[in-house]
Each structure stands twice: as C-alpha cells, then as structure tokens.
Chains A and B, each alone.
Chain A
Amino acid sequence: EDQVTQSPEALRLQEGESSSLNCSYTVSGLRGLFWYRQDPGKGPEFLFTLYSAGEEKEKERLKATLTKKESFLHITAPKPEDSATYLCAVRGSSNTGKLIFGQGTTLQVKP
C-alpha cells in the first residue's frame, strides 16, 4: 500500500535558523513527489514536483531533494513568513491521478 510519512509533526525555528523537513514514502512506481505549502484556513499551494532520485528544485529559501525512499525540504535562513504547514504527496503507478498525502509538518518561525 502506498504510504507517506512526514516528520517532525511540528517544528519551531528562530528566524535565520536553517533546518530540514522529512517526507518518507513507500510507493509502487513513483510518478511524482509533490510539496505543498498550506496557510491556516486556506488551500494548499503548490511548491515543487520531483520525479526521480537525485533531482533537486529550489525556490527562494526552499530546496527540495529526492532519494529512492525519502524527500527533504530544506529551509535556509527562514523568515517568519515561511511559517505554514508543509505537505508532501506522492503519485504512484497504482494510483494514477490520485495523490497520497502525508500528515504535514507545521513550521513556526519566530522573529
């Protein structure tokens, strides 16, 4: 069964304190790994798609990486506006069109 586990559940950082969020996955034939950002009371906002091990994508202070078993979302020198819940999702060959979501990591960055 396809599965996604994110850790930690919650993370508190001081402004400027870099860290990483983890997304471990089990999937039959990975067709894509997706990172989303979700602010309270809003819908998820798409950040990145990764397709194969070794792939990396960057956007401002965020960098997503992918291995055969997990993905990391690295946050460099975070700012308070980076505070949000970060969701990871996968699409496998056995669930065409469907995404399997993790529970999310809620990040709080204090000034």
Chain B
Amino acid sequence: DVKVTQSSRYLVKRTGEKVFLECVQDMDHENMFWYRQDPGLGLRLIYFSYDVKMKEKGDIPEGYSVSREKKERFSLILESASTNQTSMYLCASSPLVIANEQFFGPGTRLTVL
C-alpha cells in the first residue's frame, strides 16, 4: 500500500514564526502536492512538484514556499506564519504526471495564534 506520512498531526505556532511541514512518501512517486483544506472552500492546491528540485505554483502559493531535495520528501514552509494560515494541510503523491489518482497523507492541523 502507498504510504504518505506527515511530520505532525497537530501543530500550534505563533504569528511570525517560521513553520516547516514535512511530507514523506514511500512508493517512489514522481509527483507530490501540498493542499490546504478549509470549511466552505474545499481543497486548494498550494504547490506541487514533478521531480526533485522542481516546483510549480498552485492556486494559492502566496505566503508559502516548498523544498524538494529528495524524491520521497516534500516540505512546505511558512516563512512568517499568519493567523489566516490556520488550516488543515494535506500532502499527496502520485506516480505519473498525467492521470492516476493522488494518495493523501493524514493531514496536519495547524493553528497560528
């Protein structure tokens, strides 16, 4: 089975802190994605990556950056956390660029105070 793990289930940070969210997949997938999920807004794509050291902006990249130094690991960085970044963050991976389903991690519930 595909396994996508995220470093924390729950995280509480203060405004202005730098926040790192880590995601690791164990199925050698090329593609990895970061979403945030908010009530009434659904899942929104923040950034995605098709390969190591490669990244592309999603629909809401402002306030975020990403890093992919190894194929299995994709990190989401909040350079200076703000309260409006309080959300559920979901990482996903998939094996091919075109078609094929994405497999999601358990999510990180981030609260910024």
In the complex, whether B81 has a CB less than 8 A from a CB of chain A is no
Contact assessment for A43 and B106 in the assembled complex, using a CB-CB cutoff below 8 Å: yes
Which residue of chain A has the shortest Cβ distance to B91 in the bound complex? A43
Query: Which of B11-19, B71-79, B94-102 interfaces with chain A?
Result: B94-102
Contact partners of A91 in chain B: CB under 8 A: 98-99
Contact A97 B101 (CB under 8 A): no
Classify chain A: how many residues form its interface, as a range.
20 to 34
* B90 at interface by CB-CB < 8 Å: yes
Q: Are B109 and A96 in contact (CB under 8 A)?
A: no
- Interchain CB contact under 8 A, A49 and B101: yes
Contact, CB under 8 Å: A104 / B42? yes
Q: Mark A87-110, 1 if CB is under 8 A from B, else 0.
A: 101010000111101111000000
How many residues of B are counted as interface, with CB atoms below 8 angstroms from the partner's CB atoms?
A: 25
Partner among B4, B50, B105, B109 whose Cβ is within 8 Å of the Cβ of A97: B50
Residue in chain B with minimal CB distance to A99 = B102
Is A42 in contact with B107, judged by CB distance below 8 angstroms? yes
Binding site for A on B (CB under 8 A): 4, 31, 40-43, 45, 48, 50, 58, 90, 92, 94, 97-107, 109
Pairs A–B under 8 Å by Cβ, sample size 27 = A31-B99, A32-B101, A34-B102, A42-B106, A43-B4, A43-B90, A43-B104, A43-B105, A43-B107, A44-B90, A46-B101, A46-B103, A49-B100, A49-B101, A87-B43, A89-B43, A91-B98, A91-B99, A96-B98, A97-B31, A97-B94, A97-B97, A98-B48, A99-B45, A103-B40, A103-B42, A104-B42
Q: Could you list 9 further interchain pairs (A-B, Cβ under 8 angstroms) beyond the known A42-B106, A43-B106, A97-B48?
A: A31-B99, A34-B101, A36-B104, A43-B105, A43-B107, A97-B50, A97-B97, A98-B45, A104-B42
